[in-house]
Amino acid sequence: MVFDILTVLPGFFTSAMDQGVIGRAARAGTITVRAHDIREYTTDSHRTVDDAPYGGGAGMVMKPDPIAAALKAVAIKGGAEEAPDDSPILILVTPQGRPLTQKIAAGLAQQKRIVILCGRYEGVDERVRPMVDMELSIGDYVITGGEVAALVIVDAVGRLIPGVLGSSASSEADSFSDGLLEGPQYTRPELFEGAGVPDVLLSGNHKEIERWRRFESLKRTFERRPDLLETLELSPEERAVVDELKRQSEGF
């Protein structure tokens, strides 16, 4: 998997992409992360990437011409050697995009190349939007630029690529992988500041452990993200658990 990131701050990614799981995967050659400076695709002596908005208003807007040149150079020419027959998917990170979900991350993990455009200032010129395939947001808040969001996408997608994590089971049990939040986890010591580990986890009964984990996952989702349960397809037993949790919460 190759991630190409278009940014005005290429140095932002130097340290971040050399750390942890993603850093190990990059050193092993499982993934490649490359940051490209949009300023390299400007045509004026000042390397200008932004300008005042037409019609007035606060802030600056990223110019379309250097972005278009960068997208063409990186998405087309930049991928010729690695995957000449595979067109990359082009992503713009913006607060106006679709919320990034585990399902979207899993879909992106099937791609061979992803190009991520980092918006900045007051955003990009509207004429850039038709050039991308997808707009993504990492939440209902505004940050100073798309670089942090690009890191989130690389991490969320990269960890799902085979060989990046030590075990595929690690990602399969993640929160949101099956639409639910992950339940509580415990490790040694068995007793910590007076708090112990649930007996079922010490029982060695794998069937009961899985049942307990599923119940706790349902309970945690109900308590913290009940909206996730509204569209989730549950078994009759799981639906009965949720109904009981509702009754308990309502004091019946």
Looking at residue 117, which CATH number applies to its domain? 3.40.1280.10
Instruction: Look at residues 158, 189, 205 and tell me which one is the last residue of a structural domain.
Output: 158
The answer on 144 and 23 residing in a single domain is: yes
Q: What is the pLDDT of residue 12?
A: 94
State the Cα–Cα distance between residues 147 and 12, nearest whole angstrom: 7
The answer on 190 and 121 residing in a single domain is: no
Residue 37 annotated in active site:
no
Is 164 a domain residue? no
Residue 120: name the closest of 100, 92, 98 by CA. Answer: 92
Domain that holds residue 226: 173-249
Q: What is the pLDDT of residue 179?
A: 87
State the Cα–Cα distance between residues 33 and 23, nearest whole angstrom: 9
Q: Do 32 and 70 form a contact (C-beta atoms < 8 A)?
A: no
The answer on 65 and 152 residing in a single domain is: yes
157 Cβ neighbours under 8 A, 6+ residues apart: 1, 3, 105, 108, 109, 114
Instruction: Look at residues 92, 126, 158 and tell me which one is the last residue of a structural domain.
Output: 158
Residue 66 annotated in active site:
no
Rounded to 5°, the CA angle 149-150-151 comes to 90
Which CATH number covers residue 227? Answer: 1.10.1270.20
* Catalytic entry in 37, 65, 122, 244: 122
State the Cα–Cα distance between residues 35 and 119, nearest whole angstrom: 14
Is 122 a domain residue? yes
State the Cα–Cα distance between residues 81 and 100, nearest whole angstrom: 30
Q: Please state the domain count of the chain.
A: 2
The answer on 142 and 191 residing in a single domain is: no
Is 75 a domain residue? yes
Is 167 a domain residue? no
The answer on 62 and 118 residing in a single domain is: yes
- pLDDT one digit per residue (tens) for the chain, 252 residues: 999 999 999 999 998 888 999 999 999 999 999 999 999 999 999 999 999 999 999 999 999 999 999 999 998 765 545 544 568 999 999 999 999 999 999 999 999 999 999 999 899 999 999 999 999 999 999 999 999 999 999 999 999 999 998 755 455 555 566 889 999 999 999 999 999 999 999 999 999 999 999 999 999 999 999 999 998 999 999 999 999 999 999 976
Q: What is the pLDDT of residue 17?
A: 87
Q: What is the pLDDT of residue 134?
A: 97
* Catalytic entry in 39, 65, 95, 213: 95
Q: What is the pLDDT of residue 177?
A: 64
Q: What is the pLDDT of residue 16?
A: 86
Q: Do 134 and 91 form a contact (C-beta atoms < 8 A)?
A: yes
Is 118 a domain residue? yes
Residue 47 annotated in active site:
no
Neighbouring-strand partners of residue 2: 32, 113
Residue 40 annotated in active site:
no
Structure tokens at 16: 């971040």
* Catalytic entry in 10, 66, 159, 216: 159
CB-based burial label for 3 (10 Å; 0-12, 13-18, 19+):
buried
Q: What is the pLDDT of residue 80?
A: 46
Beta-strand (E) ranges in the chain? 2-7, 32-37, 50-51, 61-62, 89-99, 113-118, 134-137
